[in-house]
């Protein structure tokens, strides 16, 4: 679905996440600071009770917000709040089933707004996967899993982004024991296609170079340590190379990162969560953020979880949320420029 036309100042939607986690603390502290009023319009999908609880706890007496029923009612230079459902009692620094249900409702409402073009960038705050998941009502382990099912035709892909490294994750939040059986040539092919297109459209990389990591130690050692590289990965990589893409691998992950080979490519495709997240977080620290490729709208998020142990402490870092917002806005500008150029090119052809 094409997004509706946007105002001159972008609207940034925030789903509040787990109310007892570090997300609301990060968000309100971030918005309390100066600097966003001329750059974007914040739209929080959450609840007044959560904001008031955190505002009092953090001593943010100068923070003001404007309650609205619909994103169309936003006021520039104001923090706008779209209330989502109800929230009962919750404890700061602790999980709760009520908090998980609230986080789900806020997230789904924010996705609906992004899909309808009512916000131009969606930033999702951390959720607790234990309470966010509901076997009957919401059988998804995280944000990306929900987005992947809702937008199956777009094949959403989790990508971790920083100034020095971009890492896409093929299988995301599944047990390590299920990774090998979850691999398929078609899934790999689609993921690389989505990543390639995202690098062109959202990161202004004209001819992307992508590296694919192997599954087994030493990338299988020619079949001695596993057959997945030869039977699944190599045929797909050869097919993509024949189609004109600059795609290499499968690379042995330890040697690939230790030798600095990642510097020679525009993105890396890791086959499972920790294979990509460990080197990414070691190198990017608090400056990295998460981005979902392949969606009809732009979604980013901090690259960390609810961090209950850091709630209310000075150990809370705003860097990842800041990157998710400001770099998300850069992606928005690049996407609009890319789409405009394509439209002009199409008119010239006609």
For residues 16 and 146, state if they share a domain: yes
Sequence-distant (6+) residues with CB within 8 A of 310 are 22, 316
For residues 334 and 209, state if they share a domain: no
**Neighbour-count burial for 320-332, b at 16+ CB within 10 Å, e otherwise:** bbbbbbbbbbebb
Query: What token pair was written down for 249?
Result: 């691998």
Nearest to 39 by CA among 76, 68, 81, 70: 76
What are the two backbone dihedrals, phi and then psi, of residue 294, each rounded to the nearest 5 degrees? 85, 5
For residues 27 and 174, state if they share a domain: no
pLDDT at 346: 74
Do 142 and 100 contact (CB within 8 A), yes or no? no
For residues 53 and 142, state if they share a domain: yes
pTM exceeds cut of 0.85: yes
- Helix (H) or strand (E) segment spanning residue 209: strand 209-213
For residues 125 and 87, state if they share a domain: yes
Sign of CA dihedral 59, 61, 67, 72: negative
Range of the domain at 197: 155-286
**Neighbour-count burial for 261-285, b at 16+ CB within 10 Å, e otherwise:** ebeebbbbbbbbbebbbebbbebbe
CA distance 181 to 301: 28
For residues 148 and 170, state if they share a domain: no
For residues 5 and 130, state if they share a domain: yes
Final residue belonging to a domain, choices 286, 312, 342: 286
Query: pLDDT tens digits for 293-318?
Result: 999 999 999 999 999 998 988 777 89
Query: pLDDT tens digits for 61-108?
Result: 889 999 999 999 999 999 999 999 888 888 899 989 999 999 999 999
Final residue belonging to a domain, choices 232, 263, 286: 286
Query: What token pair was written down for 182?
Result: 């979850």
Tell whether the model's pLDDT for residue 174 goes beyond 80: yes
**Neighbour-count burial for 17-42, b at 16+ CB within 10 Å, e otherwise:** bbbbbbbbbbbbbbbeeeebeeebbb
What are the two backbone dihedrals, phi and then psi, of residue 311, each rounded to the nearest 5 degrees? -60, 130
pLDDT at 8: 84
For residues 96 and 179, state if they share a domain: no
For residues 95 and 39, state if they share a domain: yes
For residues 9 and 73, state if they share a domain: yes
Residue 250: is the preceding peptide bond cis (ω within 30°)?
Answer: yes
pLDDT at 77: 92
Final residue belonging to a domain, choices 245, 260, 286: 286
**Average predicted confidence (pLDDT) for the chain:** 93
Tell whether the model's pLDDT for residue 285 goes beyond 60: yes
For residues 162 and 150, state if they share a domain: no
For residues 4 and 73, state if they share a domain: yes
CATH code of the domain in which 250 resides: 3.40.718.10
Domain count along the chain: 2
Query: pLDDT tens digits for 237-275?
Result: 999 999 999 999 999 999 999 999 999 999 999 999 999
> CA separation (Å) from 297 to 3, 55, 141, 317?
7, 30, 21, 27
């Amino acid at each position: 679905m094409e997004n509706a036309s946007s105002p001159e100042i972008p609207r940034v939607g925030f789903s509040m996440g787990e109310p007892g986690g570090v997300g609301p603390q990060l968000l309100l502290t971030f918005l309390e600071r100066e600097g966003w009023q001329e750059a974007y319009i914040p739209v929080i999908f959450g609840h007044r009770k959560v904001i008031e609880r955190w505002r009092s706890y953090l001593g943010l007496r100068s923070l003001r917000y404007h309650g609205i029923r619909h994103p169309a009612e936003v006021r520039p230079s104001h923090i706008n709040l779209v209330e989502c459902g109800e929230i009962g009692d919750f404890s700061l620094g602790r999980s709760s089933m009520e908090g998980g249900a609230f986080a789900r409702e806020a997230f789904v409402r924010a996705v609906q707004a992004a899909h309808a073009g009512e916000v131009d960038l969606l930033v999702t705050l951390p959720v607790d996967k234990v309470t966010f998941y509901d076997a009957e009502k919401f059988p998804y382990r995280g944000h990306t899993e929900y987005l992947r099912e809702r937008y199956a035709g777009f094949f959403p892909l989790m990508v971790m982004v920083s100034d020095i490294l971009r890492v896409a994750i093929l299988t995301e939040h599944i047990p390590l024991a299920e990774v090998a059986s979850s691999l398929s040539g078609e899934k790999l092919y689609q993921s690389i296609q989505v990543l390639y297109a995202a690098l062109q459209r959202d990161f202004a990389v004209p001819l992307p170079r992508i590296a694919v990591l192997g599954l087994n130690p030493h990338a299988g050692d020619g079949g001695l340590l596993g057959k997945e590289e030869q039977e699944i990965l190599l045929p797909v990589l050869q097919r993509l190379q024949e189609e004109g893409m600059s795609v290499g691998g499968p690379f042995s992950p330890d040697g690939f990162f230790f030798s600095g080979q990642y510097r020679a490519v525009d993105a890396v495709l890791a086959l499972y969560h920790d294979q990509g997240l460990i080197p990414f977080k070691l190198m990017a620290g608090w400056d990295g953020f998460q981005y979902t490729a392949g969606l009809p709208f732009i979604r980013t998020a901090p690259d960390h979880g609810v961090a209950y142990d850091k709630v209310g402490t000075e150990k809370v870092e705003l860097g990842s949320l800041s990157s998710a917002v400001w770099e998300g806005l850069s992606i928005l500008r690049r996407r609009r420029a890319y789409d405009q150029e394509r439209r002009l090119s199409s008119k010239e052809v006609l």
